[in-house]
Structures are given as C-alpha cells and as structure tokens.
Amino acid sequence: MAAVQDGQLNLEVEKDIKTEITNDGSGNINANSSSPGSTSSGGKSKSPAGSGEDQQTLLAVLQFLKRNKLTESVDILRREAGLSADADDSPVSESAGAGSGGVPSVGADGGDANSLLSRVSIATPVAPPATAPPKVVAASGGEDQPDVNVVLSAYSQQGDPVLYPLYYNGLKKFIESVLDCHRAELSQVFYPLFVHMYLELVYNNHENEAKQFFEKFSGDQECYYEEDLRILSSMSKKEHMKGNETMLDFRTSKFVLRISRDSYQVSCLGKPEMSRSLWQLTITYRMLSYQLLKRHLQERQNNQIWNIIQEHLYIDIFDGMPRSKSQIDAMSGSLAGEGKRDANKAKVFYGLLKEPEIEVPLDDEDEEAENEEGKPKKKKPKKDSMGSKSKKQDPNAPQQTRIPLPELKDSDKLDKIMNMKEATKKIRLGPDNLPSICFYSFLNAYQGLTAVDFTDDSSLIAGGFADSTVRVWSVTPKKLRRVKSAADLSNIDKESDDVLERIMDEKTASESKILYGHSGPVYGISFSPDRNYLLSSSEDGTVRLWSLQTFTCLVGYKGHNYPVWDTQFSPYGYYFISGGHDRVARLWATDHYQPLRMFAGHLADITCTLFHPNSNYVATGSADRTIRLWDVLTGNCVRILTGHKGPIHSLAFSPNGKFMASGATDGRVLLWDVGHGLMVGELKGHTDTIYALKFSRDGEILASGSMDNTVKLWDTLKAFDDVELDDFTAATGHIHLPENSQELLLGTYMTKSTPVIHLHFTRRNLLLAAGAYNP
C-alpha cells in the first residue's frame, strides 16, 4: 500500500506544478495578446484554489492512513508533501475552507516536488486510494466513509439548477459560432462538461432537472460515450453516487483535453509587412482556442461552467495547429479523456534484450560434413553474421540486467536451439505470401470456453472453462504423462541416461488432462515459456500456478479480491502479471506469494495484460478504454494510450518490441508506436469484439480474431511504413491516420460458427487459431 501512496502523492504534487506552469504560460501569452487583464488574473487566482483542493485530498489520505494505523506511511507522506504535523490534525473541512492557509505550504510543495520530479520521471496521474476505499464501503454494507464525502463534496457548490441547460446551451452556441479550426477542439469540452453538470445536478438532489438536462443534451454527445451515458442515465439519485465506480472515476480523475495554442509567432513571422491593424485582427482571430473559451466564459460570467473546467478538467495546451475532427476522434473515447502528453514523454527502452549466446551443436552439419566438405563452411559464416547481429547492443534496448532474469537452464538452452532450428525453416510472410491457418475447434464446450493458450512451440493447448476447469491438450503424438509418485521415483536409477524418460508414469499417458482447483470461471491462461508451468486466473480472485509435470496446482496467488481477468507469463518466465476487476495490475514472481509490484492507475477493470518482449515493461488494457504501459523496474506508468472506444480485450507486441496492437469491443484494431507513444494506425473491419491479436514471427503480418467469427490478416509492414514521423507529430502526438485501412487488409477468413478466441503463430509461421464451436 505504501508504494501506491507514494505514487499518489507525487502525482498530486506534480499536478500542482503543472497547473501553475500552465497558468503562468497562459499569462505570458496573454500579456502579448490584446486582452490581458482579466484572463491572467483568472489564471492566477485559480492556482491557490486548485492547490487547496489537492491539499484537501491529501489530508483526507493522511487521515485515512492514520485511522488504519499506517503510521509509517503517514510519516513518509507528510515528509514528502512538506506538510506540517499539525496541518493534518485540523479537520479536513477546515483546511479545505482555509484557502489562504494552504498557500504557503503549496509553495513548499513546489520546491519539494521539483526535486522529486527529477527522481521519478512520471507519476501516476490518478488517485487509487480514493477508488479503493469505496469498494470496501460497498462490501461492508454502505456505511458512510468520510473519503467518499470528500470526493463528492466538490459537487456541493450549487448554482441555480434551472440555469444549467442555459449555460450549456450558451456554450454550445458559442462553440458552434467559432472558427472552424477551433470548433472541433473546443467541442471536446462538451462531454466532460455535460457529465459533470449532470452529476452536480444529481448530487444536489435536482432529480427532475437532471433528467431533463440529460434528455436534452445526451443526444449531442459522441456516440462512443454511449456506454458511460447509459450508466449515467441510470444514476438519478444522490444515494446512487455512493459506490458507483464510474461516477468515482469522473470525480477522482481529471478529464484530460488537448487544446492547441495557435502559435502566435509562427503565424505572424511570415507576414512582417502586414500592417499593424491587420496584425491585431489576426491576433484576435488566431487567439488560442483555450483563451477563446476562457474569455467567452468570463465575459458571460459563466462561473458554473468555469468552475467545472477548473476542477474536473485538465486542459493540456499544446503549440501548433488545432487538430481536425478526425484527429480528435481518433484519440478520444477513453473514460478520462486523452492521455496527457507529458505522460508519454518518458523514455521506453523498447529494444530487445541480447540473446544469450548458445553454441548451436552442428550435428546436422557434422553429418553433412562427412559427405561434403564445402557445405559447413558455407553455413558457418552465415551463422556468425546472425550471431554478431544479436551481439550488438540495440541502442533502444534496456540494460541486460535492468530486470533480473532467471538463469537459463539446460533444457531452456535446448529449447532455444530447437527454436533457432525451426526459425531457419520459417516462411517469410508477406502480402503475397499469406500464412495457412489451422483452426482448432473446441467441440461440446457449451459456451464455456473462456480462455485459450498455446505453448510457444505449439505442442500444447490449454483451455480455461466457465466450469472452473483448466484442460490441457497435447496436439502432437506425444501424450501427456505425469511424473511418478515419490515412492516410485525413489526406485529409479538416477544415473541412467534416460532418467527424464523414466520418471514419467506411462500409465497416466493421455491426450488431455483436466486441472481442477478454481472455484469460478477461468478467464486467463498462460503457459510458461519452458512449458513446465501453466497459469490460470479466475473469477474466484486467485491466480493459480500448475505444474505440467505432475498436473497439480502448485501455488494459488491471492491478492486480487475480485475476478482476475487476465494473466500472462513473462517471455523469460519467472515473472507474471495479472489484472482484474480491482483495477490494479500486479506483478508476481512465481516463488513469491505476494506481488512484487502493483500498478495502479486504471479507472476501470483491467481486461488484458501483456509483457513486452524484453520483459522490462508490462502493458495493460482496461475497460476505461486506455492502454497503459508500466515500467517493471520502477512501477511507473510510462505510456497512456487513448483512442479505443470500448473495453480493450486483446494486446500484442510486435516481435521487435517497437509496436503494439490492441483490439477492443468496438471492433477496431489500433496500432501504436511504443517508443513515441503514438497511435500509428487504425484497422477497421471487424464487427465485434476482438479477442485475439498476434504478430507473425517476423512481424510482417498481424492476425486478428474476433467474436464475429472471422480471422483477418493485416499488412503491418505497410502500416508502419506509411507512418511519417516528423518532429512535429512526434512532439504533439497528433497524427494523420491513413484514411483507408482496407488497403492493409490482406484476407478475411470466416469460420462457420466459431468465435476466434486465440491466435498463435508457430515458429514456422503457420497460424493457429482456436475457438469453441457455437452451434
């Protein structure tokens, strides 16, 4: 818990600085522009209020910790926040109300936090402590907890409920009247404003007004917010707000908008001959969108809206041209707006780790050498060149020892050798060379198949079922055998060469084995790379580790109290990640029964998890429609990727670690550049949830499998080539997506009535797919 609190604190502190900086910046610009006075003062006056708010939250956290006797954490928090010991002793309401008292401590905050910033590059931008306790509340039967009230109290400032539609309408009219280039940007404000105004109305018991407000304006919102609107619409009473997770998400996190600051210099430098008056005119028209909005609101004395913007929205101002509607649409859609730009600034070492050098026994070549002298010589230089390539350290790769990785065992080495041998027989795929697809259908699964995984060498398939079982099949002629019992094992001659063969019990040989142990549907399943273990995560809140030697459960990892939606082994084994309904992703090591890291920050369930190929990062997709990339070493969130319009259900990294693909319930696949944190492609075509994504072994082809009973193949090579990454787009993160993703679609393969749940490329680039036949 302490670690999370730390992160939380840093975030709060950092937020303060951010608001200050932005406000200063805007103030400066205003000094240049023609309308200085009112705006800059507005900006300045906001800063104490905002920090008072943060302080209030901080104090609430402190109180919570105290009550729970986490004195150590309290000390740390206090020290790092620079709060005096007596500050938190005063009641929360008092300190919140006393804005003036907060000011000096905020100043201290800033100084302290700057030093903190140098240590922690990026902080998690969300407040998990606020989300976690309400769940406890719900569990213990709805007893009031001050934290919730603190969270909700922000809605207590009350305007005249009748005026709300007028305010909103006024803003709507204003935004519709502004220049085209600004309109798209400014209309982003609609949705969060709408939500917060509605919530305010509900909170203040204006039930009817809230309903009317909702009916009047909900139709104006973008269609991708439909899910959230449905949840909102069902919430019509103050009592409902307690314990409603979505509501808390809106409240505890600031909705992030990106709005451009029309670069004043750029537009004017090119026209020095322009007359003074004309220049003035240009300035007024070219005023940054944000300023435009601000001024409008202040002119109209529209404090209600302004307050909401101040409190619940985070407006991320960037320099450059305003974005077009399509650009905005591509990036928006998540529960809490877009990711902040600086949230994606941290460096990500996306390169691959150096492969350990393994002497490939040249037994094949040796045999040939006897026949022909020339051949091995020809082959050897080739092998060397391959080796040297891997010897060179990739500049984008993390240090080899950044994350301690398990040492390679002999069997791992053998497997690596096998892998390399297979890889030489690999087929190069391309648009003209599509892979064959072999479909494994699960028959008689009665809608119960919930998860599938293949081993890397494609020799085993595991299925997780809704009836709590895990089943493992061997798809090679080699049957699954158990290790003999301890008594029998003692009789075995341990010196014999085939001891590994002798320890297996022939009598237990069968094509499939069933693993019993969970007490709820199994939602996630993952083989360890060495094929000795299997992980499964279930509705019962546990992750279980199974041995594929004895076919028994070895460990039940308890930590998630709620359903665990997904779990995934690291590509190097030993570590694994799990994520579930409690919105926290946990990193585990197989020999620790407690998690090593907890990644908190998502605003809704974590629906899928994936390790980066170099095992230094972990990607999580969530029902809040964002993807986050976490650094395993520091536990920080290093990327927030927004753009999906529905819960994300599948993730895939390209084999070189540079790109990522994600699929969601909206039926779209998005492609991401991990290094830059940019969306680089959008693949439309599926009509239902995408449950499976996989890159081919060389990364040229992306296969996507969906609930709509199709497998689609996409030309990723072309998709990544098409992206032009100049400095500007890299800096702003605004990219023009190619309009037509159909050119990238290489093929669509229908199944009869089988949703595609899993995809896997064999080492020779044959595509395997799996799903349950659904008559």
Partner 1 sequence: MAEERRPKQCTVVLPTESMKAMAESIGVGQLQEESCAALSEEVSYRIKEIAQDALKFMHHGKRRKLTTSDIDHALKLKNVEPLYGFQSQEFIPFRFASGGGRELHFYEEKEVDLSDIINTPLPRVPLDVSLKAPKEQQKAESTEPLKVVKPGQEEEGSIQKGQGAISAEAKGKKEGLMRMKPRSTHELSVEQQLYYKEITEACVGSCEAKRAEALQSIATDPGLYQMLPRFSTFISEGVRVNVVQNNLALLIYLMRMVKALMDNPTLYLEKYLHELIPAVVTCIVSKQLCLRPDVDNHWALRDFAARLMAQSCKTFSTTTNNIQSRITKTFTKSWLDEKTQWTTRYGCIAGLSELGPDVIKTLILPRLTVEGARIKAVSEGPVVSNIDKIGADHVQSLLLKHCASVIAKTRPLPDNMEQYRADYGYLGPTLCSHVVKARAQAALQAQQVNRTTLTITQPRPTLTVSQSGIGGSGGSRSPSIIKVPSSLTLMSTRPGTPTQPSPPATKYIVMATSAGASSTQQVLDGSLVITLSSSSGSSVTSTVASATSTLQPLVKLESRAASGLGGSRPLQKYIVVSLPTSASSSLESKSGMLPPSSSSTSPISLEAGMKMDHTGCVPNGTLLPI
Taking CA atoms, 389 is separated from 352, 353, 360, 401, 422, in Å, by: 12, 12, 16, 19, 19
Q: How far is the CB of 470 from partner 1 (least distance, A)?
A: 11
d(CA 439, CA 441) in angstroms, rounded, equals: 6
- For the CA atoms of 642, 643, 649, 651, the dihedral, rounded to the nearest 10 degrees, stands at -70
Q: According to CB under 8 A, which residues from 650 to 709 bind partner 1?
A: 665, 689, 691, 707
Q: According to CB under 8 A, which residues from 287 to 326 bind partner 1?
A: none
Q: How far is the CB of 169 from partner 1 (least distance, A)?
A: 14
Contact 644, 668 (CB under 8 A): yes
Nearest residue (CB) to partner 1, 318 versus 527: 527
Cβ count within 10 A of residue 385: 9
d(CA 589, CA 701) in angstroms, rounded, equals: 32
Q: Which two tokens stand for residue 492?
A: 């075995």
Stretch that binds partner 1, among 70-78, 86-94, 332-340, 765-773 (CB under 8 A): 765-773
Nearest residue (CB) to partner 1, 152 versus 434: 434
Residue 418 in contact with partner 1, rule: CB under 8 A? no
Residue 730 in contact with partner 1, rule: CB under 8 A? no
Q: How far is the CB of 240 from partner 1 (least distance, A)?
A: 5
Q: According to CB under 8 A, which residues from 584 to 623 bind partner 1?
A: 605, 607, 623
> With 0-12 CB in 10 A as exposed, 13-18 as middle and 19+ as buried, what is 337?
buried
Out of 121, 221, 390, 508, point to the residue binding partner 1 (CB under 8 A).
221
Stretch that binds partner 1, among 75-83, 192-200, 274-282, 438-446 (CB under 8 A): 438-446
Q: How far is the CB of 190 from partner 1 (least distance, A)?
A: 8
Out of 370, 373, 432, 497, point to the residue binding partner 1 (CB under 8 A).
432
Out of 174, 264, 279, 473, point to the residue binding partner 1 (CB under 8 A).
473
Out of 151, 437, 587, 619, point to the residue binding partner 1 (CB under 8 A).
437
Residue among 661, 657, 648 nearest 694 (CA):
661
Could you identify the residue written with the tokens 């305007």?
159
String marking each residue 527-546 x if it binds partner 1 according to CB under 8 A: ------------x-------
d(CA 504, CA 485) in angstroms, rounded, equals: 9
d(CA 700, CA 432) in angstroms, rounded, equals: 11
d(CA 46, CA 25) in angstroms, rounded, equals: 14
Q: According to CB under 8 A, which residues from 568 to 587 bind partner 1?
A: 581
Residue 218 in contact with partner 1, rule: CB under 8 A? yes
Q: According to CB under 8 A, which residues from 170 to 199 bind partner 1?
A: 187
Residue among 1, 15, 43 nearest 109 (CA):
15
Out of 277, 301, 436, 490, point to the residue binding partner 1 (CB under 8 A).
436
Q: According to CB under 8 A, which residues from 550 to 569 bind partner 1?
A: 562-563, 565
**DSSP letter string, 94-122:** HHHH-HHHHHHHHHHHHHHHHHHHHH-S-
Nearest residue (CB) to partner 1, 110 versus 747: 747
Q: How far is the CB of 211 from partner 1 (least distance, A)?
A: 7
Contact 273, 135 (CB under 8 A): no
Stretch that binds partner 1, among 308-316, 385-393, 439-447, 528-536 (CB under 8 A): 439-447
584-589/597-600 β-pairing: antiparallel
Nearest residue (CB) to partner 1, 442 versus 659: 442
**DSSP letter string, 699-757:** SSEEEEEETTSEEEEEEHHHHHHH----HHHHHH------S-GGGGEEEEEE-SS----
Q: What is the helix (H) or strand (E) element at residue 253, kind and residue range?
A: none
Residue 145 in contact with partner 1, rule: CB under 8 A? no
Contact 675, 685 (CB under 8 A): no
Nearest residue (CB) to partner 1, 37 versus 477: 477
Which residue type is seen at 77? L
Out of 292, 343, 719, 757, point to the residue binding partner 1 (CB under 8 A).
757
Q: How far is the CB of 436 from partner 1 (least distance, A)?
A: 4
Q: According to CB under 8 A, which residues from 77 to 136 bind partner 1?
A: none
Nearest residue (CB) to partner 1, 58 versus 171: 171
Residue 427 in contact with partner 1, rule: CB under 8 A? yes
CA–chain centroid gap for 33, Å, is 39
Nearest residue (CB) to partner 1, 24 versus 457: 457
d(CA 55, CA 48) in angstroms, rounded, equals: 10
CB-based contacts of 307: which residues, under 8 Å, 6+ apart?
157
Out of 306, 751, 759, 760, point to the residue binding partner 1 (CB under 8 A).
751
Residue 644 in contact with partner 1, rule: CB under 8 A? no
Out of 198, 314, 440, 611, point to the residue binding partner 1 (CB under 8 A).
440
DSSP code, position 433: B
Residue 447 in contact with partner 1, rule: CB under 8 A? yes
Residue 461 in contact with partner 1, rule: CB under 8 A? yes
Residue 425 in contact with partner 1, rule: CB under 8 A? yes
Stretch that binds partner 1, among 33-41, 43-51, 379-387, 458-466 (CB under 8 A): 458-466
3-class state of residue 337 by DSSP:
strand
